[in-house]
């Protein structure tokens, strides 16, 4: 028998895990099967003790599996929220339950803190699609044109950029510059969507997300025949034919708010499917159709290696200070612009 889960709202930041999180025995009720809870609860209790000992917090992206997202995380959100929360935390140690560029961003905004990533192989296809040298060549080709860089990039790329953005504030960031033309890096599909929402001329790079580029418009039309009336909401990193088929296009946080505000009877979230699992916990009245595509990099983060990272204080993320200083300017400019309404 499933019990009513005790959960923390997706957008509410927490600051003191040892006092604000529900008891370990309650966190995963109704979220993971009881047989899994028997294994997970001792691990989570060990992590909680280590957090207190290390003065540590776990930051988790929305794509983390529910056992991490609800069982272990103290601070949760999309890339923009995590950047803000990382900048605000008073913890000495930050464990990033996400991919490497997120851990780098946390280190960039917290140069004096220890930032750990549980698995060094947790990368990102977008971050790997461009280098700082590529940005320098683009600046030579388009002199004077400002560079807007998605946070899904390395510190080296951020350091060569004028300002960062996330999918939740990309349009607002582009328009905040007050120019007629920008270079937008590295996601070609997000860049095309931004270009469709503004009069600013957008120069694109040909990067893409290995998760979102797998979806197709034909696939979504097939789902509509199988589930008549389903509402399709898609992330702007998806190809144009997918966005054209969607009922709503929005960032990770935008998709969460869409479900919470509209309470659709049936919804299909065109994004990494662990996120749908997490949103479904807080939307019991909505049926989720899951075209499940998992990010292999996000899936490398587990409760076990989060525990191991805290036990051994291993896989510390280090950013060369001169690179971090320049990258920090681009991140701070993004944070000053804030999220879109």
Half-sphere exposure (CA, 13 Å, Cβ side) for 277?
20
Burial class (CB in 10 A: 0-12, 13-18, 19+), 1: exposed
Per residue in 28-55, pLDDT (tens digit) is 888 888 888 889 999 999 999 999 999 9
User: What is the model's pLDDT at position 9?
Assistant: 41
Burial class (CB in 10 A: 0-12, 13-18, 19+), 9: exposed
Average pLDDT over residues 303-329: 97
**Average pLDDT of every residue of the chain:** 90
User: What is the model's pLDDT at position 79?
Assistant: 81
| CATH placement of domain 127-209 | 3.40.50.10800
Residue where the block lists tokens 């749908």: 276
Contacts of 287 (CB under 8 A, 6+ apart): 265, 266, 267
Residue 16 pLDDT more than 60?
A: no
Residue 13 pLDDT more than 50?
A: no
What is the C-alpha to C-alpha distance for residues 236 and 341, in angstroms, rounded to an integer? 16
Residue 7 pLDDT more than 70?
A: no
User: Do strands 266-270 and 287-289 pair parallel, antiparallel, or not at all (unpaired)?
Assistant: parallel
Please report which confidence band the pLDDT of residue 148 belongs to, taking 50, 70 and 90 as the band edges. very high
Average pLDDT over residues 69-95: 90
Residue 1 pLDDT more than 50?
A: no
Q: C-alpha 135: how far from its chain's center?
A: 23
User: What is the model's pLDDT at position 14?
Assistant: 37
Please report which confidence band the pLDDT of residue 12 belongs to, taking 50, 70 and 90 as the band edges. very low
Secondary-structure percent of the chain, ordered helix, strand, coil, rounded to 5 = 45, 15, 40
User: What is the model's pLDDT at position 32?
Assistant: 84
CATH 3.40.50.10800 describes domain 212-289 = yes
Residue 303 pLDDT more than 60?
A: yes
What is the C-alpha to C-alpha distance for residues 204 and 210, in angstroms, rounded to an integer? 18
| CATH placement of domain 17-123+298-312 | 3.40.50.10800
Task: Tell me the CA distances in angstroms from 247 to 18, 220, 234, 336, 340, one per residue in order.
Answer: 41, 11, 8, 30, 19
Model pTM score: 0.86
Q: Which of 83, 90, 22 is nearest to 56 (CA)?
A: 90
What is the C-alpha to C-alpha distance for residues 244 and 169, in angstroms, rounded to an integer? 20
Q: C-alpha 274: how far from its chain's center?
A: 12
Residue 175 pLDDT more than 90?
A: yes
Tell me where in the chain the CATH 3.40.50.10800 domain(s) lie. 17-123+298-312, 127-209, 212-289
CB 87 within 8 A of CB 109: yes
Percent of the chain residues past pLDDT 90, beyond the cut: 77
Residue 82 pLDDT more than 90?
A: no
Average pLDDT over residues 189-210: 96
User: What is the model's pLDDT at position 116?
Assistant: 97
Strands (E), 137-195: 147-150, 163-165, 181-185
User: What is the model's pLDDT at position 2?
Assistant: 31
Per residue in 252-276, pLDDT (tens digit) is 889 999 999 999 999 999 999 888 8
User: Do strands 56-61 and 75-77 pair parallel, antiparallel, or not at all (unpaired)?
Assistant: parallel
Task: Work out the angle at residue 313's Cα, subtended by the Cα atoms of residues 308 and 315, and round it to the nearest 5 degrees.
Answer: 85
Least confident among 12-21, 130-139, 236-245, 246-255 = 12-21
Please report which confidence band the pLDDT of residue 8 belongs to, taking 50, 70 and 90 as the band edges. very low
Residue where the block lists tokens 């998605």: 150
Q: C-alpha 175: how far from its chain's center?
A: 23
User: What is the model's pLDDT at position 338?
Assistant: 73
Please report which confidence band the pLDDT of residue 20 belongs to, taking 50, 70 and 90 as the band edges. low
């Amino acid at each position: 028998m499933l019990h009513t889960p005790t959960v923390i709202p997706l957008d509410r930041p927490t600051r003191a895990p040892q006092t604000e999180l529900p008891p370990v025995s309650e966190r995963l009720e109704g979220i993971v099967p009881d047989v899994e809870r028997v294994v997970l609860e001792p691990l989570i209790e060990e992590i909680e003790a280590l957090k207190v000992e290390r003065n540590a917090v776990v930051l988790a992206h929305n794509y983390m599996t529910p056992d991490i997202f609800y069982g272990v995380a103290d601070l949760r959100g999309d890339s923009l929220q995590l950047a803000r929360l990382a900048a605000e935390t008073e913890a000495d140690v930050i464990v990033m339950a996400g991919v490497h560029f997120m851990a780098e961003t946390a280190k960039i905004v917290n140069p004096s803190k220890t930032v750990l990533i549980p698995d060094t192989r947790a990368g990102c296809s977008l971050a790997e699609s461009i280098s700082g040298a590529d940005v320098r060549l683009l600046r030579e080709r388009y002199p004077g044109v400002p560079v807007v860089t998605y946070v899904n990039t390395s510190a080296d790329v951020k350091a060569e950029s004028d300002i960062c953005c996330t999918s939740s504030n990309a349009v607002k960031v582009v328009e905040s510059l007050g120019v007629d033309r920008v270079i937008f890096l590295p996601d070609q599909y997000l860049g095309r969507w931004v270009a469709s929402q503004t009069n600013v001329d957008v120069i694109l790079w040909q990067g893409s997300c290995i998760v979102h580029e797998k979806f197709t418009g034909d696939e979504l039309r097939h789902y509509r025949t199988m589930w008549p009336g389903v509402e399709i909401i898609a992330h702007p990193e998806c190809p144009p034919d997918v966005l054209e088929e969607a009922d709503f296009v929005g960032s990770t946080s935008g998709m969460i708010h869409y479900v919470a505000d509209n309470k659709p009877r049936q919804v299909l979230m065109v994004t990494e499917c662990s996120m749908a699992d997490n949103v479904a916990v807080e939307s019991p009245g909505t049926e989720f159709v899951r075209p499940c595509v998992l990010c292999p990099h996000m899936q490398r983060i587990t409760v076990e290696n989060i525990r191991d990272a805290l036990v051994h204080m291993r896989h510390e993320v280090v950013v060369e200070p001169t690179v971090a200083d320049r990258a920090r300017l681009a991140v701070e400019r993004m944070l000053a612009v804030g999220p879109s309404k």
